[in-house]
Amino acid sequence: MKRGRKLKTKEQEREQQPPAGRTPGRAARYQARPSEELDEVNDVDELDEANTGWQQTTAKMAGLTRLVTVGIWALLLAGPAIGLVAVAASGSSASAPPATSTQKATQPSATGPAGFAELYLAAYISAGEGTEESLAPYYAEPVTLANEPGSRTATRVVTVAAQPVSKGYWAVTVAAHVSAKDATGKTADQGLRYYRVGVQVAGTPEAGGAAKPAKSGGGQALYAATSLPAEVNAPTAASHGDLGYGSDSGVSSNDPVADTVSRFIAAYLTSQGELGRYVSPGLQVAPIVPAPYTSTLVTSLRDDQEDGSASDDESVPADGARRRVLATVSATSGDQDYTLNYALTLSTRDGRWEVAAFDIAPALSAEQTGPVAGSASPTPSPAPTPDTASPSAPAGN
């Protein structure tokens, strides 16, 4: 097929000219112009059809262009709405907790029941005939006591055990340091006494109860004792596991480890000397203010060196060497000496030993098996005398 423009005959040209004496209108002009142009387009369309196989006309292409334009505008207009839907979907999925967290129940806290039991026991020990109403905030049942009010007092109470009996119900064991009047009216120290109290809780697990937060409405938790306290035996004593230190190797004046420990303890407890001189860079520790003691003396030093020759070594190892020690200290206040223990970790730097860590607890041996029950005698609970016994307190086991 030839490229180029088709030649028109004179007859075709006369047919396309407007009638004489009449100005062609917009439609006539529009219809008159494309004949020549359409011939060119037809040639191009025929060429494209031959080369590509696409059978399309200018009208089809114009319609396709309009369709694509409308589609692009539709996407642009719908973009914000689609974005909002995506954000809402992602927000809801992010805020939704995992299925495992919803299935895991919150463990109830014993703090609330323990505090309530301590207050109840202190009120019970001090109460007596005529003052039974002091127990009403803790125990709602009517109570009749036969002992004289104030015949016993609790100078200190502390919870030693809190065991859940069922949902929202606790058995709390409280230790009380009790003083009581004897037959002559003199106050005698009766030592530690142990009592068990049943405490029922209405509230969320954080308060010791079993109510769901949504149902509790954030209201105040309610506590109620289910009986008068029961006096019981002291808990079984136990021995601790093996520590990560050797036997006492003594304190030598020539031992650089003992010298650093002694100076550090003195600066810490008595404010004598500059504490920063004996600690490694980065360790944050300050002396106790006001100083509780006037002088200190390291009386023994246990080291984690297996050969037990730490105190005989007067040399200082290369930088970076570490050693753990457990120091026994005699601290003087007034005319009294008090014994203390301090666990420290030391390291070497610039030819000297420094305190690298103020350990929060003595180090345990890697082979230790934990506390051993029954290896130490428990603290006995003295039997109450007939003059101070309260018939309202049930006997413990």
Q: Is the separation of the CB atoms in 143 and 172 below 8 Å?
A: no
Burial class, 143, CB count within 10 angstroms (exposed 0-12 / middle 13-18 / buried 19+): middle
23: pLDDT strictly greater than 60: no
Question: How far is residue 324's CA from residue 362's CA, in Å, rounded to a whole number?
Answer: 9
Average pLDDT of the segment spanning 9-33: 51
pTM for this model (two decimals): 0.60
- pLDDT of 107 reads 86
- pLDDT of 261 reads 95
- pLDDT of 196 reads 98
Burial track 52-84 (b if 16+ CB lie within 10 A, e otherwise): eeeeeeeeeeeeeeeeeeeeeeeeeeeeeeeee
- Extract the tokens encoding 51: 């080369």
- pLDDT of 86 reads 53
308: pLDDT strictly greater than 90: no
Instruction: Please report, as a single letter, which amino acid is at residue 118.
Output: E
49: pLDDT strictly greater than 70: no
Give the range among 177-186, 210-219, 259-268, 272-281 with minimum mean pLDDT: 210-219
388: pLDDT strictly greater than 90: no
- pLDDT of 75 reads 62
- For residue range 318-376, list pLDDT tens digits in order: 999 999 999 999 999 999 999 999 999 999 999 999 999 999 999 998 888 788 776 55
Q: What is the CA radius of gyration of the chain?
A: 46
Nearest to 253 by CA among 296, 312, 293, 308: 312
Domain ranges in the chain are: 111-213+220-235, 256-358
Average pLDDT of the segment spanning 253-271: 94
Give the neighbor-by-neighbor strand order of the sheet with 295-303.
Answer: 295-303, 322-333, 336-349, 352-358
Question: How far is residue 184's CA from residue 186's CA, in Å, rounded to a whole number?
Answer: 6
Res. 83 pLDDT band, cuts 50 70 90? low
CATH for the stretch 256-358:
3.10.450.540
Give the CATH number of domain 111-213+220-235; options: 3.40.50.10680, 1.10.8.80, 3.10.450.540, 3.40.50.970. 3.10.450.540
Instruction: Please report, as a single letter, which amino acid is at residue 370.
Output: G
Nearest to 37 by CA among 1, 80, 6: 6
Contacts of 46 (CB under 8 A, 6+ apart): 1
- In the chain, which ranges are E strands? 152-166, 169-181, 187-202, 222-225, 230-232, 238-239, 295-303, 322-333, 336-349, 352-358, 372-373
275: pLDDT strictly greater than 80: yes
DSSP label at residue 194: E
In whole angstroms, how far apart are CA 162 and each of 118, 158, 381, 396?
11, 11, 20, 17
Res. 185 pLDDT band, cuts 50 70 90? confident
- Extract the tokens encoding 327: 């120091």
Domains 111-213+220-235 and 256-358 share a fold: yes
Q: Is the separation of the CB atoms in 143 and 228 below 8 Å?
A: yes
The percent of the chain in helix, strand and coil, each rounded to the nearest 5, is: 30, 25, 45
103: pLDDT strictly greater than 50: no
Specify the 3-state DSSP secondary structure of 304: coil
Average pLDDT of the segment spanning 218-244: 90
Main-chain phi, psi angles of 365, to 5 degrees:
-70, 145
Specify the 3-state DSSP secondary structure of 200: strand
Prior bond to 290 cis, omega within 30?
A: yes
